[in-house]
A and B are shown apart, each in its own frame.
Chain A
Amino acid sequence: MENDNRTHGMKLRWSFPPYPVGWVSRETLRSYIEGNDPVTGKPLIEEIIYALTAPLTEEEKNFKPERRPRRERLLEPDTEENLQRLFLENGWTDGLPIVLPTEERVAEMLTGTDRDPQEVVGLMSVTPTEERLEYTVEKVAVNAVMAGARPEHLPVILAIAASNITSLPSSTGSYGCMAVVNGPVAKELGMNGGGAAFGPFNYSNAVIGRAWTLMSINFGNARAGQTYMATHGNGLSFTNMCCCENEEKSPWEPFHVQKGFKPGESTVSLFRGWNVHNLNIGNTAAEILNSLKNFGMMGNFTAILDPLVAKGLAKEGFDSADKFREWLVKESDLPFLQKEKVNLIVVGGESNPIYITSDFIYTATMPVDEWIPKGGIKKDARPLRMPVAITCADGSCGIA
């Protein structure tokens, strides 16, 4: 609530009933009203009456919103062990070990872009009313180092940062997010949009997705129970379903082209939602329509189709994603569903005609090229690649 006082510019008088308030009996609610505020330990009703009747204090009459000082660029020097502990204890990480952002490592990371390290990239918050925190190219590089990324990943991470969009939007329901990369940069980074693309098998997918959440913690001030109120949290938040689209195997134009970009441009598209259903099998329009009708989503529908599914749809005559989206909306007859809220992304390794359904909301497609150095993505002498899933070279082993 201290944060909220800052937000409102005044020291509002608040009282807290115990939680939950929803889905409890009237007897329970009465016991809340006749009981104590669990935060202060004082009788709740007395607090409410006090809030309405007690004259304003001098502090309340003259309240000034807090101006927090700017933070120092460098932390106090310490041993690696102590600094790892410091980052954990301050809540600056996702709970996993990080790569410490030493001056040397951050300087190396910054070779991944030509942009001025002190250029402001954006403002972020995980709640609608909190103070936005401002961050520069250098701050993004710091979090990229922490995530285990290398300079070649920095342009995509900067593009995500420039969206100002957090991967940890605060809601008692627990959002998950997704980041899908399109265009030439995906191949340059060795990203995976094929077999097991969402699994823990690809370096670039993992570190880019992780960097988004570290930025959301450190730029969005995500604090569990304070600013981030999800009751469960979401396991997707560690790496945010980060992958690239399987453009090579898709019969349709890439997702970013559907959003107005050119095929040769590189982008990252961002999504958020609550529910992901992994196992839907079928490659016909009727089956996907049935999934949509049974999904129970809240007006947004994002389907992630294995290429076999997209190819099956193309054989049915849906030669573009747009045509299929239009058909889905028309045939679903759901009054709240609009074409622009239906997203189709092609990802997968052609193991089976399986598609993922989700209530993910499309939030933005961010251009990556403007963050890439003039000399191109910084190439490593020995590009770091994890084993890739085995796929048929001629694409003929699919079931479709």
Chain B
Amino acid sequence: MKEKLRVLDPVGQPSGIFGYRLNPEDDMMNITDPNLQPTISLDKMESLQMAPRLGSLENKRIMLIDTGFLGSREFLEELQEWFKRNMPSVKTELRVKPGNTFADAPEFWPEVKKDADGVILGVGG
């Protein structure tokens, strides 16, 4: 019978620490570097809640937000056209998220909350 070996686990331990918000002022290279991101712990994330849903889209204002990632604008424009053709009562508006694709835009979200009933954010990549 072949000898059995005892070996150590090579994988890092879960820390409960995540990256959470990308600083829009940062150099783009920093923004894409996990090491340079601010972090948040699981404890703080537990307080986040999802927004209530709309029930129906009839006569609702839906904002299509272009993240700036490759192809986002074109995809959302086609989505907007789909709503015009198929659900004309839905008022859609396409806006571009300010700043770098990979960065948060904290000044933008209050505007969105004010002007829209619901949001489609795209496209991730």
Residues in A lying within 8 Å of B, measured CB to CB: 6-12, 17, 20-24, 26, 29-30, 32-34, 45, 48-49, 52-56, 60-61, 63-65, 67-75, 77-81, 83, 87, 92, 100-103, 106, 123-135, 138-139, 142-143, 146, 163-166, 169, 171-172, 214, 218-221, 229, 299-300, 361, 363
Q: Taking CB as reference atom, which chain A residue is nearest B43?
A: A65
Within 8 A of A (CB), among B64-101: 69-72, 74-75, 78-79, 81-82, 86
Choose among B16, B48, B49 the residue that contacts A131 (Cβ–Cβ < 8 A). Answer: B16
Choose among A10, A53, A71, A163 the residue that contacts B57 (Cβ–Cβ < 8 A). Answer: A53
Interface size class of B (residues with CB under 8 A): 35 or more
B35-71 vs A, CB cutoff 8 Å, 1 = contact: the mask equals 1010100100111111011111100001000000111
Residues in B lying within 8 Å of A, measured CB to CB: 2-20, 22, 29, 31-35, 37, 39, 42, 45-50, 52-57, 62, 69-72, 74-75, 78-79, 81-82, 86, 102, 118, 120, 123, 125
CB pair B35 A166 closer than 8 Å: yes
Cα distance A92–B8 when bound, in Å? 12
- Interfacial chain B residues near A45, Cβ < 8 Å: 82, 86
Choose among B2, B10, B34, B62 the residue that contacts A143 (Cβ–Cβ < 8 A). Answer: B10
CB pair B4 A21 closer than 8 Å: no
Known A10-B50, A56-B52; judge A129-B19 contact (CB<8 A).
Answer: yes
- Interfacial chain B residues near A73, Cβ < 8 Å: 8-9
A269 to chain B, nearest CB (A): 15
CB pair B20 A169 closer than 8 Å: no
CB pair B34 A131 closer than 8 Å: no
Q: Taking CB as reference atom, which chain B residue is nearest A81?
A: B2
CB pair B46 A9 closer than 8 Å: yes
Cα distance A218–B55 when bound, in Å? 44
CB pair A29 B3 closer than 8 Å: no
A359 to chain B, nearest CB (A): 10
Those 4 A-B pairs whose CB atoms lie nearest each other, nearest first: A133-B12, A9-B45, A22-B70, A21-B71
